[in-house]
Structure 1
Amino acid sequence: MTITQILIFVRVAETLNFTQAAQELHMTQPAVSHAIASIENELDVKLLLRDRKKGVLLTDIGQRVVREFRSILQSMNRVEQQVAAEKGLDIGTITVGAFPSASAYFLPPVIQQIQQQYPNLVFDLHEGSTNDVKEWVHSRRIDAGIILLPDPLVETLPLYSDQMVLLLPNQHPLQQQEQITIRHLHGQDMILCKGGHEVAILDAFEREKSELHIRFTTHNVSTLVQMVRQGLGIGIVSDLALSMFPHELTVTPVYPIIHRQIGIAAPSIEQASLATKLFIRTAQELFVPELALHTK
């Protein structure tokens, strides 16, 4: 089989749609189907199933093979970048994933700095939930991801220590408190924005022997802001996520401080491509000093 065939299979496995894969690869659908059939014939195993109701599905062996094929493509990308570096060229593609608030906060300055020196590098950006990004790193769908730590299944480096803050409705009695503790929140109507930090919040309330009364749960910070504005409860959300949504409400820390650690992850930093190592190094240069600042 050829690298092109492997690339075609990976794209079909990711889109689960022959037509879409063909369009993205600028190929005809029969050519894509032929490439998949050639791989399956060579391996003598069924990698994809075509179901009239569910569409295209990966078989169990297909799911395992696509991980190995992604690893092969990443290895080829490393070879191409090594050769380009030897020739004095700066080419390559960096596939990066992040959850929304991390994507907005971390990626623009990192990309901007890299582009100043290496304008020909291409960034392929993927945005999803915190769990999505972790799965993409595990399955090698992306070269690197910005995730919530810890994750023992991949290599990680810390970037930022984010903290949970409270968003208070107007005229709320707790606005009179000079310092709000977790015990002040015992039994209060709370609005929680899911984003991977729920365990840290639950643990903090348990340590303080306070009841966390979650009145509402959202998946969107803007929804949380609107609900607090309507007086439906006290919002508890990460400072980083909240900073992306301008508002006029009162924001205050809660004590003891509840942290969540954000880091950069890759299947193997040592085996990463030159472009991926550049991305990781640039992110550290820009944000690790900020990590120390936020943990004082």
Structure 2
Amino acid sequence: MNRFEVFMKVIEKESFTEAAEDLGYTQSAVSQMVKALEKELSTTLITRSRKGIQLTADGREYLPYINNIRNAYWELLEKNKEMQGLESGLIRIGTISSVSASWLPKLMKDFKEIYPSVQFQLQQGGEYSEIVQYVKEGSVDFGFINPDATTELEKISLTEDEMLAVLPPNHPLAKNEKVTLTQLATEPYILLEEGHLNEPLEIFKQHHLQPNIQFRVHDDYTIMAMVENGLGISILSQLIMDRVNYRLVKKTITPPIKRTIGITYKNKKLLPIASRYFINFLIERFQR
């Protein structure tokens, strides 16, 4: 384990003790590696107090560079594994909750039946912009997003997902076969924050409508609980709604709202071999 990884783990856990437990090291060993990094950089990166640890001014300046080195180190290890063959590969994926809760488990299971030694590491993002950032900084190999969410990375569209109106069971619109955008625009609206690209808001805008946004939330399941409790209505992807137990009513919207789901990455040729194989596997699966 290199000192850059240890330092980032200390920052993540905000504790030398918890970082040591997570990494399987002694607290003394973790402390010594952080001190060695500080000595190399001729500065103090972290201060300790009763309230926990804090980055110094220099620590805040160095943090993004240390994180980049940590990620580059993992990429180096993956390249080494690639040289030894696909069997030992790690696939790092940035994913949104609707994908990780529905498609991804089955896709990973099927892929591991072909390559049983391949490992997966998932990094959840609340917004498309978070996934794009994960890809840019190298903490994941590729990510699931709406391809329209980035113009700076390579991307591939996989499929379309319809979005549905989500209503409390006793809502007056629950009796309708379908609901219109105009009807939804007058209701207290719970917005799923997805960064600068939000499919429902785009459709409202195209039809010169402004939803009555009362809440902004980053998690689909929190929104479902809020709708169940009568705090408002929302629009969520059919994908995320397929396997939930909340007391909700789902309605088709007219005109329909659909989002494209795809993957994005920096340069496919430079990806670890396991990730390249998995991307090809995804393309083949969705193009059947």
What is the RMSD of the two structures over their aligned residues, measured on CA atoms?
Answer: 3.1
Matched, 1:22 2:20: yes
Q: Verify the 8 A CA contact 2:155 2:262 in the aligned structure 1.
A: yes
Match of 1:155 in 2: 154
Post-superposition, which runs of at least 4 consecutive aligned residues in structure 1 deviate over 6 A? Answer: none
Q: What do the CA deviations read for 1:148-170 (whole angstroms, capped 9, x no partner)?
A: 43223433322332232112445
Instruction: Work out the percentage of aligned pairs sharing the same amino acid.
Output: 28
Deviation at 1:187, TM superposition (A): 2.3
Partner SS state of residue 116, structure 2: coil
Matched, 1:101 2:92: no
Deviation at 1:226, TM superposition (A): 4.8
Q: Alpha carbons of 1:273 and 1:225: their partners in 2 closer, same or farther (altered >3 Å)? A: closer
Q: Alpha carbons of 1:228 and 1:45: their partners in 2 closer, same or farther (altered >3 Å)? A: same
Q: Bigger CA drift: 204-213 or 46-55?
A: 46-55
Q: Alpha carbons of 1:171 and 1:274: their partners in 2 closer, same or farther (altered >3 Å)? A: same
Separation in structure 1 between the aligned mates of residue 229 and residue 7 of structure 2, nearest angstrom: 50
Count of paired positions: 282
Q: What do the CA deviations read for 1:199-220 (whole angstroms, capped 9, x no partner)?
A: 3322322221223123444444
Q: What do the CA deviations read for 1:164-213 (whole angstroms, capped 9, x no partner)?
A: 21124456554565654323434233343444587332232222122312
> Counterpart amino acid of 2:2?
T
Partner SS state of residue 269, structure 2: coil
**What TM-score does the superposition give when structure 2 sets the normalisation length?**
0.81
Separation in structure 2 between the aligned mates of residue 281 and residue 209 of structure 1, nearest angstrom: 40
Matched, 1:274 2:273: yes
Separation in structure 1 between the aligned mates of residue 69 and residue 226 of structure 2, nearest angstrom: 46
Please list, as runs of the form range in 1=range in 2, the aligned pairs for 1:1-296 lying within 5 A after superposition: 4-42=2-40, 44-46=41-43, 48-52=45-49, 53=51, 55-57=53-55, 58-82=59-83, 84-85=84-85, 90-130=87-127, 131-149=129-147, 150-170=149-169, 174=173, 179-196=178-195, 199-229=198-228, 232-246=231-245, 249-289=248-288
> Counterpart amino acid of 2:181?
I
**What TM-score does the superposition give when structure 1 sets the normalisation length?**
0.79
Deviation at 1:16, TM superposition (A): 4.3
Q: Verify the 8 A CA contact 1:17 1:56 in the aligned structure 2.
A: no
Separation in structure 2 between the aligned mates of residue 171 and residue 56 of structure 1, nearest angstrom: 49
Q: Alpha carbons of 1:73 and 1:189: their partners in 2 closer, same or farther (altered >3 Å)? A: closer
Match of 1:294 in 2: none
Deviation at 1:45, TM superposition (A): 4.2
5+ unaligned residues in a row in structure 1: which ranges?
A: 290-296
Partner SS state of residue 101, structure 2: helix
Separation in structure 1 between the aligned mates of residue 196 and residue 92 of structure 2, nearest angstrom: 25
Q: Verify the 8 A CA contact 1:190 1:212 in the aligned structure 2.
A: yes
Q: Verify the 8 A CA contact 1:97 1:125 in the aligned structure 2.
A: yes
